Every structure is written in structure tokens, then in C-alpha cells.
Structure 1
Amino acid sequence: MDDQNKNLILATALSFLVILAWFVGGPMLFPQWFPEEPAAEQTATPETAAPATTAEAPADATATAAAAQPAPEAPRLTIDTPKLSGSLSLTGGRIDDLSLKTYRETKDPGSAEVRLLSPVGKDHPYYAVFGWLAGNGLDPADVPDAKTQWSVTAGTVLASGQPVTLQWQNTKGLTFTRTLAVDEDFMFTVTDKVENKGTAEARLAPYGIVARHGLPKLQGTYVVHEGLIRRTDGTFGEVKYSKFADFDLAEGETLPAEKVDATTDGWIGFSDHYWMTTLVPEQGKPWKSVARYVPQNDIYQAEVHHDVMAVAPGASAEVTTQLYAGAKEWDTIRAYQNEAGIAGFIDSIDWGWFYFFTKPIFWLLHQLHGLIGNMGLAIMALTLVLKVLVLPLAYKSYVSMARMKELQPEMEALKERAGEDKQKLQKEMMQLYKDKKVNPAAGCLPILIQIPIFYALFKVISNTLELRHAAFFGWLDDLSGPDSSSLYNIFGLMPWDAPAAGTLTHMIFIGIVPIILGITMWLQQKLNPAPADPVQQQIFAWMPWVFMFMMSTFASGLIIYWITNNTITFVQQYLIMASHGHRPDIFGNIKASVKKPVVVADKSRKK
């Protein structure tokens, strides 16, 4: 096997093994975890449990958002902004009914809006609740929690520039006021204030909770993180839903939790594929980041606990917590980071291991999309830019490949002289490379450098909201999903539907784009004559078509990148090799492969 073919097979195999192991192998090797159903005899539920308190540090007590079973007739206030619709419940003052106006469930523009938050009593309850924990001299009933019935004192509709104000009083002279505001994007601002009109000092601590009942419908791959995301004092972290069950039960606690103290910056919440719900405390002030699991009811909680406040008679205190509930729009999140001072907020988007590649690649794709206006064309333009950037490496590689071709006669002569002495052959080959100043590994370098680039683009296309339902041309109306055309109905010519994406039938009856991918791989292969070794011939003959079927389940945007990359690589290699005296005989190689069918000789048979 000549070194050029070795390099090609090795690099190609490595590229696809990395992607396939990540995309396909992950769920098989590490099955998605689902929590067990609670036992029938379990009776202690958060719906009936009051938050535990301690004398001096109520912020360390257990706050359970699940103690928020609302009555069906609970009054509500409407939420209406350019991007959001829904309502908030006056029971607990909870933000628990929220849909995204600018996003639809499917590609059909008439389909339902994406539903992000849902109240208790509906499917998959998911909501944000805010309250206080009681300290010295106060009982849990003396502070507002998830069951408190608030009264409206100002505002009737929560809209951009139109906040609403809620109020509740206890019997000990404390008046609690909650002001909720929302901007034109996805950020709520919740300001909780307490005034002490009593005769004794009140010690209490505010908190905010995002609660999710049960697992959401997960994507089922390991390309995108779905679960808890948090930043505390400059450190970013992720927690899968499966890890919540491993949290420790601290002394004095009734529920397992993972707590992290923060002093400068941070946030905590839940991230879905394209959406997130994140609590953001006041930056620059100490707070506690808490991830908690309620096993009795299968509830996941992300919590912000503020420090204890000592409010003297006649005094007041307040705290502000923000809630981001919406789509993971890069522009919007970056603006909150750069202009609103939420440190590291852009990392709420899952950039992956190769974030140093993924971030600039996404930025470039975003800019190109803004200039061109078509995401498919933007991907093609991005591919061209990336190929230009690696052109110096590619040039050296193709020059090395051309020179390796020139050395073929001398290599064959060395093999004849060395016979079965492989050590001698290896030594003389290395000397030949040294004398001719040829690096046999140079041909592999550009392909290897594409592995992190390919992964980064794969991450961008699989994860980034901007590609969701992004159209190209014709039938390619969602570049984040597989090609919807199919051989099954002759690419739409027959009056029956194509198989559903992700099914085995869809993978067998592939679409147009994967077929084009296979053809470009096959043509690129024909730049060089078929290897003499029958086993290599078999590998080369089947490789394009095997990958064609394997890639048919990938996002069509990624396949468009691969097709464009193959085409540009073909042109580059042809021109560079031709400029060095080795003009590839493409049509001759195709004719030779047709006339000489690939047959593996049975060496075990003796004449």
C-alpha cells in the first residue's frame, strides 16, 4: 500500500469515526437515563412539606418550588411582548405560562408556537417561582412562598415597558412587594422588596427557583447538552439530568442538592436544545447556586439563594433577580453579556470541546448569513473561506503527493531489491525520502486538520438556533434536519410520502443530497489510479457509497458543507498536482475501474 493511499484511508477513517462515535455511538454506549417511577408507598411529597428553616442562615434551608399546587381558578395576569405570550399566576407570583411568538413547533408557519413554560396541572410543568425563607422570629407562614396569594396593586398586563406590581402582608408588620418587568426580548426582572412596619427585627432570605417536573423530551444525542447549566465566579459547569440523582443529602437537609458559593458573578438554569430558562442574580454580590432533585415527585430545580437580610423596624430591603426564558439567540445573549454585564452568558450556548474553533466558525457563518441571506449559500461560502485559510497546508500536501507519484518507479525498484527484507526496505525508503526532500506524512495533514473543523461545524449546525428550520432551495427547507427527499417516492415524483426522517427506511432510500455527496467522494477518489492491492481496491470502491448511506441521517446543512468541501478539494488537488507535472487522468481512472472489476484473490488456493 503506497503512503498516499494509507494517509487517505487513515485520515478519512479517523474523521468519520470521531463523528459517528459521537453522533451514533453515544446513545448506544451510554444510554439516556430515565428516572424510576416513585414507589406507591411514598407519601411525603413537596406539595405538603413546608420549607425547612434554620435560626441564623435560612438561605441554606430547603426551598421547594413544588409546594406550589395552584388552584384551577387561581387569578392570572397576561404576558404580552413582541416575542412572548402567556400569563403569570397570582398564586406564588409564578411565571409559569410562556410561549415564544417568533418560533413554531414545526416548519409549517401555521403550527403552534413553541411552548416553553407550563403550570402545575398541565403536561410537563416547568416554571419559575420566587419567595423568601424565614429566619429568627418568623415562621414559614410569615414569608411569601409558592403558595402565597398575591394582590395586584399596579398594572394589568405584563408587557415591554409596562411592569406589574404585586403585594402581600403578613400579621407581623411585614409588607412584601414584588415588581415584575420584561424587556422586548426574553429577560424578566423580578424585584422583591420587604418593608418592616413591625416592632422586631426580621431576618429572612430571598430565593428564586426554576422547577421542571420530569424529564423533557430530549434530543437523544450527545451532540447538544440538555440539562443544568451554571456559571459561578467565572467557572462554567454542566450537569446532566442523570447526575441529579447523585447529589448528596447535606446535614439538616431533606432533599439532595449540589451547592456552590459565588461572590462575583454567575447564573444557573436549564438548557434545552434551542431554549433555556436561566436565573441571573445581581452580579457582583454574593449568592449561592443550588441544583436540587426532588425524587418523590421527579422534580429538577435550579435555585438562586441570596444572603440573609436583617431588616430593622422601620427599614426595608430589596433584591433583584433576572430570569431569561426564551430562545438561545446568539445576538440576544451576547448583548446581555456585553451590554448588561452578565459575565460569560454566551457560554449558555453549547460550543463543545473545540469551542476555540466553534465560536469563530459560528461568528463567521452568522456574518455570512447576514450578507447573503441564505443559510445554505452561507455554509458554502464558509467552506470556501475555510479552504482558503488551510490552502498553504493543502498546497504543501498536494505538492508532496505529486512528488510521491514521481518517486513511484524508484519505490518499485527498492521493493524488488529488498525482497522480503522489510527492515532493509524501510531503511532505504526513508533514505530516498530524505534525498528527494519528500515528507510522506504531509499528504495527511490537511485532512487531519479538518477533523476539529468538521466537528466544530457539526456542532454549529446541530446546536445553533439560527439553523433551525433554515431553508436553502427547493425541498431543502430545514438545514438542521436530514434531506427530506427519498428514492422511495422517486424524489417526489410518485404520489406517496417519503419515509419519516430517522427511520431505517429513510436511511435505505436516501435523498438527493447524500447521493451527490457519494458522487463527489467517488470523483475525488478518481484523481488517483486504483491501488494495485485487491484489498485496497475493495476499500476504495465501497468507501464513497458506504459513507453516502451513513451520512444520509446527518443534517443536510452539514452534507452541503461536505459536498462543497469535496468539490473545492478536487479542484485544488487537480490544479496543484497538474502544475507540478502530474496531471491526473480522471477519465482514464474511471474507465479502468469499470473495465477491471474489483476481485479479491483467494490466496489460500494453491495451483
Structure 2
Amino acid sequence: MDDQNKNLILATGLSFLVILIWFFFFPPEEQVTDPNAPATVQQDGTASGTVAGAPPVIAPAPGQQAPQGAPAAAPEDAPRLAIETPSLTGSISLNGARIDRLLLNNYRETLAPDSDLVNLLSPVGGPNPYYALFGWAPGGTLGYEDVPGPDTTWSLVDGETLTPETPVTLAWDNGKGLVFNRKISIDEKYMFSVEQTVQNNTQSAVRMAPYGLVARHGEPETVGFFILHEGVVRMSDGELQEVDYDDMTDLDIVAREGARAEVLDVASDGWIGFTDKYWMATIIPPAGTPFASVVKYVDGAAIYQTEARQPAMTIEPGAAAATSVRLFAGAKEWETIRAYEASGVQGFIDSIDWGWFFFLTKPIFAVLHWLNGLIGNMGWSIIVLTLMIKAVLFPLAYKSYVSMAKMKELQPEMEKIKEKTGDDRMKLQQEMMALYKKEKVNPASGCLPILLQIPIFFSLYKVIFVTLELRHAPWIGWIRDLSAPDPSSILNLFGLLPYDTPSPESIFFIFSLGILPILLGISMWLQQKLNPAPTDPTQAMIFAFMPWVFMFMLGSFASGLVLYWIANNTITFTQQYLIMRSQGYKPDVFGNIKRGFRRKKPAATK
């Protein structure tokens, strides 16, 4: 292989590395597209096409009277219906039949055993209102006062507590011949089913459209890390779309006075809602039915809202109409989400933010989850996963390590060439290339395994950062949460001194190195000793400092990721050491090849 081909290979590899790093740190901004023209709200409160009339949470259609803005806070004495399941505890306010109090039984805010349960949904009138509403939007001659709204008081007609075994039924009579019923059921995890019926006892046909919505008042606190999406997430006929909270305030389409909205017509399958890092609330219309997927922001009330509007129905006198919708409100557990997808919720597994390398993050997490099921510990599962990845990459690594062993042996000859050529860099390159060609050494052969490690590393970082299964997952001893940094610190001699260490928000936290980051630096240093040092002094100095720079940089990363890197470095060092010995080289533990043990004497340089 001539020098030009070698340079081409090296340049291609480095270019690929730069592109990967660029996309990791500067991902393209997610664009939410509107493939269909937005529906126009007509005078009768319905919408053109398949889009139903807007829910009364925002404002009525022109010429109709209805509550403006957000629903009022439910009175303190408003009756409530308890929710009790193995996974959820909460209640439904009969004022509007809002599902607005929900605690996750299996998750706490911190590692402390007496820490508060994670609070997912909260009622209007309290801090951070976050709730789900269902109802009917009026059409034709009906007004918003003729259909149940967000402040309608419902009556409990069947059931006392909502459990997986006991659904509940609510009723409301508008006093004008329309009787509404709502049956709410729930499974043992996080899926609510809402069946709505309306009986028309009037003398004329009526027209209305069912809807479901999830609303948040005020912008919620988010992790705010660029690799994680928090905000609107929706699936529209197989296309996943994400909208950040700050992008919702800039929607161009003015739906009604004081509100901005984007409307997409979904032909058959989809869902829409809000996702946090680990939790989610999502409206899921029946599979195979069209609906309008709406992202909405109300300026004056600072309400962030997602809606699923189903097609309007015409109900003849004496007839009844029924509709159903589901609400997922809970934790984004991989097995649970996957089971719901298998039951017909298209693309639901993509509600977990797998990132740009989804083709790697999905199988990596699947294997990690399987290993955790066998081993029962995520930390040891990460180590075993690292062994498996290294085994898959071993054929490439073998060639790379053999080449690096040869490069390591040629190091003295390379130093002699450098001394002989002095400052003549062109002569230096020519002499080096001649030596590589004579000894059949390819200096770029070590790039491919490194390049393959980069997307794997990023993917594992994504898995550890976003998946719920790593949250509060212990390993050994002091590592009680693999999704958090190592809590030990060199500043207090790893707990021997009675001093608190800086918090992660402090600029001094970077100096609060734990045991795992220190082990990472040592493992990187040992691995580096087996590799040939650059001939350029500046490059050699940079490489010498890299293990310790990374030790400080990654000190604040999740313990699970640092554990992976330590395991990877240790396995790499072992593989490389054994391969060098198998080729006749005898390096010591610091990678120095001892005299008298070299496979063959390198050719003399002319």
C-alpha cells in the first residue's frame, strides 16, 4: 500500500471521527413538520376534515359562550374518586372528571427509603398543575354548556375506588335531553381506558366530537441536557415527532384568540402527550381510527397542551353514540412500554429517547436488560456486556494489536530516524514510510477499532442516561445509583474525613474525584503504555496527559458509564498484552518491551 492510500485511510477515519463528535455535541435541531394544512374551526364549533371541535379549555368557537382560559381549580370540598393499583396511587376529581392526582408507587424522588413518591400528575390550584381531561366538543346547534366540560360536576353511579378489578362509571345529565356516561378502567401498570357514551333523548339530531387532552400549566422543570428530549412526543402514522417546550411558544399557527397550535391529521395510528426523562402522560386513540393530533400553547395562561380530537359524530333522536380512548400515565419502563406496543400501540417503544444511534442503543439496552435479568445487578451486567462487545470486536482488535506491537518494537528505530533527519520533516516522513513498508507495518491499522468504539460508547452513554432501569440501580458498596456520579471523593479521603464534598452544581465538583474516576485514569494510562508513542514531542506530551484529563472530565459522569470504560480499558489491556506475547514480544506491565525478548531484530535504517 503506497503512502497516498495510507494517508487516505487515515484522513477518512479521522473525518468520520470528527463527524461523529460533531453530531454528538451539535445535533441538528428537531423540526416539527405539518404535512397537512391546519384545520379551520368553523362557526358551529366543528372543524373541517376529520378534525373535531376544539375542547373548551381554551376558548369557544366564535359566537358561543364558554369558560375562557384554563379550567378553574376544583373546590377543596369537591368529591374525589380514589385510584389504587400496584403501580399507582391517586384520585380523580369529579369536578370535570379530571385525572389529576397520581403518585408512582414504585419510584421515590431520592435513594432515601422515606423519600417522597414521584408525583406525576397534580391538580389545578396546586403547584405545577398537570392533568388529563376527556369530553365532547359541541357542533351544530349545541353550545359548550350543553356538553360536559372541565368544570362539570359528575355523579358516581357505579364503583367506589378505581382498581384493576373495579372500574368506575360516572354520569352527567345536561337537563336538555342529553345524558353522558363515562366508564374509567385501569390495568395493573399505567394504562387508563376511558369509554364515553351519550344518549340523545331530544327530538332532533345533535352533533359533537370526542377529545382527550393532557395539559401542563407553566413550563416544567427539565433536566435541560441537550442529548435528552423533554416536551411533546407524538407518533403520527409511523412518524415520531418531538417538540420542545420553548418551541411551543413559537408556533406560527394561531388557533384561537390567545392560543397557538399545530394540527396534524393522523390517518389511522398514533398517540400524543408529554414526556419527561423517566415519566410520561400520553393520549392514545383507538388503533386504526383517524384523529387530529394537536400541539397547543395558550399565551395568557402559559398552558402547554396536547390534544387528540376524534371525528365528529351525528347522533339521531333516541340513539346513542360511544367512543373510547386510552391514557398512559406512568413510568417509561422498557418491558411495560414494549408490552403496550405489542398490544397495538404503534411505535410506543420510541417514546424512550434512543437518540441518533437508535440502531445501537436499542439492541444494547435489550442485551443489558436480559443480562440484568440473569445476574440481578446492573453493574455486573455492564461488565459482562463489555466482555461481549469486546468479543464481537476481537477479530478487528487482533489485527490492530499485532500492528501496534510491531510499532512498539520499531520505536527505537523510529527515534534514530528522527535524530538523523533533524528538522527535515519531509525526509522524516519518507524514512518512516520506508521503514513501515520494509517491516510491513500499517500505522493506521489501529484506527478502526477505536472508530467502532466511539458510537458504541455514545450509545451506552445514552442508554445509561435515559433509561429508567438504570435509575437508582446499585452495584457494590458505595455505588448505589449507576445513573449518578461516583459519590465518593478524594477531598474527604473517601469518607474518612468529616467533610462534605462539593455538590454537582459547584465548579469545584470536578476536583471531587471518586474511586471510579481514579481507576479510570489508571486504566487508561496502563492501556496507553502498550501503544507506540507519537514521535512528535508535542503529540507525545498531549497523549501522556490524556488519561488524567479524562479522569477529571468523566468524574461527573454516570457511574455506570465510568464502570463500562474501566472494564473496557482493562479488557483491552489484557487482550493487547496477551496478543503481544503470542507474537513473541515480552512487554512488562507498563508496556516496555524488554531487550532480548523481541520477536526479531528490526531492519537497520539506511
Fold in common (TM above 0.5): yes
Choose which of 64, 67, 74 in structure 1 pairs with 2:57. 64
Distance of aligned partners of 1:19 and 1:73 in 2 relative to their CA distance in 1, 3 Å threshold:
farther
Query: 1 CA distance for matches of 2:407 and 2:494?
Result: 43
User: Is residue 2:476 matched to residue 1:476?
Assistant: no
Contact 1:287–1:305 (CA<8 Å) still a contact in 2? yes
Residue 461 (structure 1) aligns with: 464
Query: 1 CA distance for matches of 2:15 and 2:495?
Result: 33
Query: 2 CA distance for matches of 1:529 and 1:422?
Result: 19
Following superposition, the deviation at residue 455 of structure 1 comes to 0.5
Query: 1 CA distance for matches of 2:358 and 2:331?
Result: 20
Query: 2 CA distance for matches of 1:286 and 1:416?
Result: 76
RMSD of aligned residue pairs (Cα, Å):
3.1
Following superposition, the deviation at residue 528 of structure 1 comes to 4.1
Residue 320 (structure 1) aligns with: 324
Residue 246 (structure 2) aligns with: 242
Choose which of 514, 519, 523 in structure 1 pairs with 2:522. 519
Distance of aligned partners of 1:470 and 1:483 in 2 relative to their CA distance in 1, 3 Å threshold:
same
Residue 205 (structure 2) aligns with: 201
Query: 2 CA distance for matches of 1:287 and 1:20?
Result: 35
Following superposition, the deviation at residue 263 of structure 1 comes to 1.1
Choose which of 357, 378, 384 in structure 2 pairs with 1:375. 378
List runs of 5+ in structure 1 lacking aligned partners: 31-50, 592-607
Choose which of 185, 192, 198 in structure 1 pairs with 2:189. 185
Farther off after superposition, 425-434 or 68-77:
425-434
Choose which of 224, 232, 239 in structure 1 pairs with 2:228. 224
Following superposition, the deviation at residue 251 of structure 1 comes to 6.5
Following superposition, the deviation at residue 410 of structure 1 comes to 6.5
Following superposition, the deviation at residue 15 of structure 1 comes to 9.0
Following superposition, the deviation at residue 502 of structure 1 comes to 3.8
1:38-88 Cα shifts (integer Å, max 9, x gaps) = xxxxxxxxxxxxx98535657143642653212222111001111100100
Residue 136 (structure 2) aligns with: 132
**Aligned positions, number:** 562
Contact 2:207–2:312 (CA<8 Å) still a contact in 1? yes
Query: 2 CA distance for matches of 1:276 and 1:123?
Result: 18
Farther off after superposition, 436-445 or 59-68:
59-68
Choose which of 529, 537, 542 in structure 2 pairs with 1:539. 542
TM-score (norm: length of structure 2): 0.86
Residue 604 (structure 1) aligns with: none
Following superposition, the deviation at residue 330 of structure 1 comes to 0.3
Residue 158 (structure 1) aligns with: 162
Contact 2:204–2:316 (CA<8 Å) still a contact in 1? yes
List runs of 5+ in structure 2 lacking aligned partners: 1-5, 30-41, 59-68, 595-606
Contact 1:88–1:94 (CA<8 Å) still a contact in 2? yes
Contact 2:44–2:141 (CA<8 Å) still a contact in 1? no
Contact 1:528–1:589 (CA<8 Å) still a contact in 2? no
1:471-512 Cα shifts (integer Å, max 9, x gaps) = 111111011000101122211112233332342232212111
Residue 102 (structure 1) aligns with: 106
Residue 285 (structure 2) aligns with: 281
Query: 2 CA distance for matches of 1:53 and 1:109?
Result: 55
Query: 2 CA distance for matches of 1:493 and 1:16?
Result: 45
Residue 177 (structure 2) aligns with: 173
Query: 1 CA distance for matches of 2:295 and 2:334?
Result: 25
Distance of aligned partners of 1:197 and 1:560 in 2 relative to their CA distance in 1, 3 Å threshold:
same
Distance of aligned partners of 1:280 and 1:20 in 2 relative to their CA distance in 1, 3 Å threshold:
closer
Query: 2 CA distance for matches of 1:575 and 1:469?
Result: 37
Residue 307 (structure 2) aligns with: 303
Contact 2:404–2:531 (CA<8 Å) still a contact in 1? no
Distance of aligned partners of 1:590 and 1:479 in 2 relative to their CA distance in 1, 3 Å threshold:
farther
Contact 1:190–1:321 (CA<8 Å) still a contact in 2? yes
Following superposition, the deviation at residue 444 of structure 1 comes to 1.1
Taking every aligned residue pair, what percent have the same amino acid on both sides? 55
**Displaced runs of 4+ in structure 1, greater than 6 A?**
10-13, 412-421
Query: 2 CA distance for matches of 1:113 and 1:554?
Result: 25
Query: 1 CA distance for matches of 2:23 and 2:418?
Result: 37
Residue 64 (structure 2) aligns with: none
1:117-156 Cα shifts (integer Å, max 9, x gaps) = 0000110000000111111111111111111111111111
Residue 45 (structure 1) aligns with: none
Residue 39 (structure 2) aligns with: none
Distance of aligned partners of 1:434 and 1:528 in 2 relative to their CA distance in 1, 3 Å threshold:
closer
1:175-221 Cα shifts (integer Å, max 9, x gaps) = 11111001000000011111111111111001111000112221121
Farther off after superposition, 245-254 or 547-556:
245-254
User: Is residue 2:258 matched to residue 1:265?
Assistant: no
Residue 506 (structure 1) aligns with: 509
Contact 1:90–1:151 (CA<8 Å) still a contact in 2? yes
Contact 1:127–1:210 (CA<8 Å) still a contact in 2? yes
User: Is residue 2:460 matched to residue 1:444?
Assistant: no
Following superposition, the deviation at residue 380 of structure 1 comes to 0.5
Following superposition, the deviation at residue 552 of structure 1 comes to 0.6
Q: Residues 412-423 of structure 1: matches in 2 within 5 Å?
A: none
Residue 65 (structure 2) aligns with: none
Choose which of 354, 358, 364 in structure 2 pairs with 1:351. 354
Contact 2:258–2:300 (CA<8 Å) still a contact in 1? no
Distance of aligned partners of 1:55 and 1:521 in 2 relative to their CA distance in 1, 3 Å threshold:
closer
Query: 1 CA distance for matches of 2:482 and 2:412?
Result: 47
Query: 2 CA distance for matches of 1:491 and 1:508?
Result: 13
2:218 counterpart letter in structure 1: G
Choose which of 335, 343, 366 in structure 2 pairs with 1:363. 366
Contact 1:257–1:293 (CA<8 Å) still a contact in 2? yes
Distance of aligned partners of 1:543 and 1:551 in 2 relative to their CA distance in 1, 3 Å threshold:
same
Contact 2:408–2:531 (CA<8 Å) still a contact in 1? no
1:75 counterpart letter in structure 2: P
Choose which of 54, 72, 85 in structure 1 pairs with 2:45. 54
Distance of aligned partners of 1:576 and 1:477 in 2 relative to their CA distance in 1, 3 Å threshold:
same
1:261-293 Cα shifts (integer Å, max 9, x gaps) = 111111001000110001100010111100000
